[in-house]
C-alpha cells in the first residue's frame, strides 16, 4: 500500500507539472512560431479532470474530504464512531452508484470511438472517473471503526444503489423521500459534502426516470470548460507560496511599514490573511495555516485572547474577492459570466471589507493604549528587500491577464512557474526531493475536494434545469416581491443562511442557477449579483452557531466554542455593514469595470 501511495503521489506531481508546462509552451510557441501547440488546451483540461479525481482519492486516503463534521467533535467517542459508520456507509453507497454510472459513460464512449489530440481515445481519459469513485469508496470503507464488523455494516449500505437499480422505471416506488432524509442525516453526521449533492441528484434523477449516469456526463462535461485548469494551477501556486514562507515575509513587511500605527500588527495580519486566502481559495485553510503563525505574534503584542481570536477568525474569510480567488473562478464558470470583469467588480468591495475590519482594529488598539513599534526606515527598506519577490506577485497575475499577454489559464501557469522557481531555486526554502510531494499532496487534497463537489453538483443543477425549477422560482418570487430593493434584502437573508449551512463551493454550484435568473428579472447587474453572493457567503463563515470558521478557530486556537462566538460578534457586525454597502451601492462593483471598458 505504501508503494501504491508513492505512485499515486508521483502521478499527482506529474499531472500538475504537466498542466503548468503545456500553457507555458503554448505562450512560447505563439510568440516564436505564431502558432500554438495543437490540442494543448484539450490535454490541459483533461489533466484537470485527472488531478481532480486523484486529489479526491488522496483526500479520502488522508481523511480530509470537505465535510461539515466540525460539530461532531463535540459528541462522545462511541457516538462519533457510530456516526462515522453511518456517514461512511452512505458515502460508500454514493461512490458505488457514481462508479457504476461513470462506467456506463465510459462504455458508451468506447463504442462511439471519439479521439482526443494525438489519437488517444476519449474513453481512456474518462476511465479515471469510475476508478476514482471506486478508490474513494474503498477508502471510506477502510477508515470506519469497529474493525471488520464496522466495515461489514458500512458495506451493507450498498443495498441503496442495488434497490435503485432493481426498482428503476417502476412508477410510484415512493422511496425518494426517506432516501433524501438519509442523505441529509449522513451529511450532518460527517459524510463528505459531495455525498449529499450526488446522493440527492441520484435519487431525484431516479425518481424522474432519468439515468444516474447523467451525473457522470455532467462531471465530464466540466472538463470541457476552458477555465477549469485555473483552479488546480492557482491553488498549487498558493500552496507553494505558503509552504515557502511567503506569509511570514509579508507579515514582516507590513509590520515594518505599519507597526508604528495603532494596531499595526493587527492590520498586517488582516492584509496577509486576505492575500493568503485569495490564493488558497479556502477560508478554513487560512484559519488553520495562518493561525499558528499570527496568533502568538498578536498575543506577544499584548492583544487579548478575545480580540485575537475574533480578528483571525474574521480575517480568514477576507480575500475571496481578489485574484486569483477560487470562489470567483467557480462563480464565473457556473454563472457563465466574464471572469476578469468579475474580479474587477470585486476589487473595491474587497478593499472596503479590509478597510472596515482594519479600522476597527485601529480603534481597538487606540482604546487599549498598546505600545507601538517606532518606524525605522532602515528596517522598512530591509523588509521590502526581503519581500521583493512577493510584492511582484499581484502585478504578475493581473498584469499578464489585463495586458493581453496571457489568457487566464496561461496566467495561472505563469504563476506556478514563478512560485516554483522562487521557492525551490531562488530562496531555496523548499527542496524538490523532500518537499514537492508534500506540497502537491496538500494542494491536491483541496483541488480534488472542490472539483469533486463541483462535478457532482452539476448533476443536481442539470436536474433543476430539466425540471425548469429556476423559471418556476422566478415566477413564484415575482408573485409577491415587486421591489428590487426588497428582493435584495430577502436575498441577503437567504444567502446568509446558505453560507452557514453549506460550504461556499457547493453553494455556488447549487444556488447560482436558481438566483441568477431571479436577479436578471429584477434588473440587477450580473456582476453586482455575483459580488453580493460572494460577500454574503464570506459572512456565512462567521455566523453562529454553525459558521465553519467558528469551529475551525475553536480547534486551532484551543478556545471554547462559546468564547469564539462572542469574540467574533463585533467583526460580524462590521461585515454586515460591508454587505449592506455592497448590496445597496452598486457603484462599488460597477464603476471599476466601466472605467476599464469592460
Q: What is the mean pLDDT of residues 267-294?
A: 73
For residue 167, is pLDDT > 80? Answer: no
**pLDDT value, residue 284:** 62
What pLDDT digit, counting tens, does each position of 78-116 carry? Answer: 777 888 888 888 889 899 989 988 999 999 988 887 888
What pLDDT digit, counting tens, does each position of 235-266 carry? Answer: 788 788 878 888 778 778 877 887 777 777 78
For 257, other C-beta atoms within 10 Å of its C-beta total: 17
Q: What is the mean pLDDT of residues 309-335?
A: 85
Q: What is the mean pLDDT of residues 404-409?
A: 78
Residue 24 CA to residue 421 CA, distance in Å, equals: 14
Reported as a pLDDT band with limits 50, 70 and 90, residue 555 is: low
- The closest alpha carbon to 222, from 463, 99, 54, 46, belongs to 46
For residue 152, is pLDDT > 60? Answer: yes
- The closest alpha carbon to 353, from 553, 542, 499, 555, belongs to 542
How far is the CA of 294 from the CAs of 254, 270, 308, 450, 559, in angstroms?
13, 10, 9, 27, 15
- Domains of the chain, by residue range, sit at 2-223, 230-596
Higher pLDDT, 136 or 461: 136
Higher pLDDT, 533 or 65: 533
**pLDDT value, residue 280:** 63
For residue 56, is pLDDT > 60? Answer: yes
- On whether the CB atoms of residues 519 and 488 are closer than 8 A, the answer is no
**pLDDT value, residue 288:** 65
Reported as a pLDDT band with limits 50, 70 and 90, residue 294 is: confident
- The strand pairing partners of 67, in sequence order, are 192
Reported as a pLDDT band with limits 50, 70 and 90, residue 285 is: low
DSSP letter for 72, please. G
**pLDDT value, residue 281:** 60
For residue 582, is pLDDT > 80? Answer: yes
**pLDDT value, residue 32:** 82
Q: At what angle do helices 77-112 and 147-155 cross, to 10 degrees?
A: 50
For residue 504, is pLDDT > 80? Answer: no
Higher pLDDT, 62 or 248: 62
**pLDDT value, residue 53:** 92
Higher pLDDT, 75 or 477: 477
- On whether the CB atoms of residues 36 and 71 are closer than 8 A, the answer is no
**pLDDT value, residue 357:** 92
Reported as a pLDDT band with limits 50, 70 and 90, residue 483 is: confident
Higher pLDDT, 295 or 21: 21
**Percent of the chain, pLDDT > 70?**
90
Record the pTM.
0.75
- pLDDT, averaged across the chain: 82
- The strand pairing partners of 121, in sequence order, are 115
For residue 467, is pLDDT > 70? Answer: yes
**pLDDT value, residue 578:** 93
For residue 221, is pLDDT > 60? Answer: yes
For residue 282, is pLDDT > 70? Answer: no
Reported as a pLDDT band with limits 50, 70 and 90, residue 129 is: very high
Reported as a pLDDT band with limits 50, 70 and 90, residue 168 is: low
**pLDDT value, residue 589:** 94
- On whether the CB atoms of residues 307 and 286 are closer than 8 A, the answer is no
The set of residues, in sequence order, having a beta carbon less than 8 Å from that of 428 and lying 6+ positions away, is: none
Q: What is the mean pLDDT of residues 200-225?
A: 82
Give CA torsion, residues 566, 550, 270, 280, to 10 deg.
180
Amino acid at each position: 500500500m505504501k508503494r501504491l501511495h508513492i505512485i499515486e503521489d508521483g502521478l499527482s506531481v506529474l499531472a500538475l507539472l504537466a498542466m503548468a508546462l503545456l500553457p507555458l509552451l503554448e505562450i512560447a510557441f505563439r510568440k516564436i512560431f505564431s502558432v500554438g501547440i495543437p490540442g494543448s488546451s484539450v490535454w490541459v483540461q483533461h489533466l484537470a479532470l485527472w488531478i481532480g479525481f486523484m486529489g479526491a482519492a488522496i483526500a479520502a486516503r488522508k481523511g480530509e474530504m470537505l465535510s461539515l463534521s466540525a460539530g461532531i467533535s463535540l459528541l462522545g467517542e462511541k457516538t462519533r464512531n457510530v456516526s462515522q459508520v453511518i456517514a461512511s456507509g452512505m458515502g460508500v453507497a454514493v461512490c458505488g452508484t457514481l462508479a457504476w454510472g461513470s462506467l456506463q459513460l465510459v462504455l458508451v464512449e468506447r463504442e462511439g470511438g471519439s479521439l482526443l489530440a494525438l489519437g488517444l481515445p476519449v474513453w481512456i481519459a474518462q476511465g479515471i472517473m469510475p476508478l476514482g469513485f471506486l478508490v474513494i469508496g474503498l477508502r471510506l470503507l477502510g477508515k470506519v471503526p469497529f474493525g471488520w464488523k464496522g466495515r461489514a455494516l458500512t458495506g451493507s449500505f450498498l443495498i441503496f444503489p442495488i434497490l435503485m437499480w432493481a426498482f428503476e422505471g417502476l412508477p410510484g416506488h415512493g422511496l425518494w423521500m426517506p432516501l433524501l432524509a438519509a442523505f441529509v442525516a449522513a451529511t450532518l453526521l460527517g459524510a463528505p459534502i459531495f455525498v449529499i449533492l450526488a446522493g440527492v441528484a441520484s435519487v431525484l434523477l431516479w425518481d424522474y426516470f432519468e439515468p444516474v449516469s447523467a451525473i457522470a456526463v455532467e462531471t465530464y462535461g466540466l472538463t470541457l470548460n476552458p477555465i477549469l485548469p485555473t483552479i488546480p494551477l492557482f491553488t498549487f501556486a498558493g500552496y507553494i507560496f505558503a509552504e515557502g514562507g511567503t506569509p511570514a515575509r509579508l507579515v514582516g513587511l507590513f509590520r515594518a511599514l505599519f507597526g508604528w500605527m495603532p494596531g499595526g500588527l493587527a492590520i498586517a495580519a488582516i492584509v496577509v490573511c486576505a492575500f493568503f486566502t485569495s490564493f488558497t481559495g479556502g477560508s478554513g485553510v487560512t484559519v488553520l495555516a495562518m493561525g499558528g503563525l499570527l496568533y502568538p505574534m498578536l498575543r506577544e503584542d499584548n492583544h487579548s485572547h478575545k480580540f485575537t481570536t475574533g480578528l483571525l477568525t474574521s480575517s480568514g474569510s477576507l480575500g475571496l474577492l481578489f485574484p486569483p480567488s477560487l470562489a470567483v473562478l467557480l462563480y464565473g464558470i457556473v454563472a457563465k459570466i466574464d471572469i476578469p470583469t468579475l474580479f474587477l467588480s470585486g476589487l473595491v468591495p474587497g478593499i472596503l471589507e479590509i478597510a472596515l475590519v482594519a479600522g476597527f482594529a485601529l480603534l481597538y488598539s487606540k482604546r487599549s493604549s498598546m505600545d507601538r513599534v517606532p518606524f525605522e526606515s532602515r528596517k522598512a527598506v530591509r523588509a521590502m528587500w526581503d519581500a521583493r519577490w512577493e510584492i511582484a506577485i499581484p502585478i504578475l497575475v493581473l498584469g499578464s491577464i489585463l495586458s493581453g499577454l496571457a489568457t487566464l489559464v496561461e496566467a495561472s501557469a505563469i504563476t506556478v512557474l514563478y512560485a516554483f522557481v522562487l521557492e525551490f531555486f531562488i530562496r531555496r526554502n523548499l527542496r524538490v526531493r523532500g518537499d514537492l510531494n508534500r506540497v502537491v499532496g496538500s494542494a491536491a487534497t483541496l483541488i480534488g475536494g472542490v472539483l469533486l463537489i463541483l462535478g457532482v453538483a452539476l448533476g443536481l443543477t442539470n436536474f433543476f434545469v430539466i425540471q425548469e425549477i429556476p423559471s418556476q422560482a422566478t415566477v413564484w418570487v415575482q408573485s409577491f416581491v415587486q421591489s428590487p430593493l426588497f428582493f435584495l434584502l430577502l436575498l441577503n437573508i437567504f444567502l446568509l443562511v446558505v453560507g452557514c449551512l453549506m460550504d461556499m463551493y457547493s453553494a455556488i454550484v447549487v444556488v447560482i442557477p436558481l438566483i441568477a435568473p431571479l436577479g436578471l428579472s429584477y434588473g440587477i447587474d450580473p456582476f453586482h449579483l455575483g459580488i453580493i453572493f460572494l460577500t454574503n457567503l464570506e459572512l456565512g463563515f462567521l455566523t453562529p452557531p454553525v459558521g465553519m470558521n467558528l469551529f475551525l478557530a475553536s480547534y486551532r486556537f484551543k478556545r471554547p466554542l462559546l468564547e469564539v462566538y462572542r469574540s467574533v460578534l463585533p467583526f460580524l457586525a462590521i461585515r454586515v455593514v460591508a454587505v449592506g454597502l455592497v448590496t445597496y451601492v452598486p457603484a462599488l462593483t460597477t464603476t471599476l469595470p466601466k472605467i476599464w471598458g469592460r
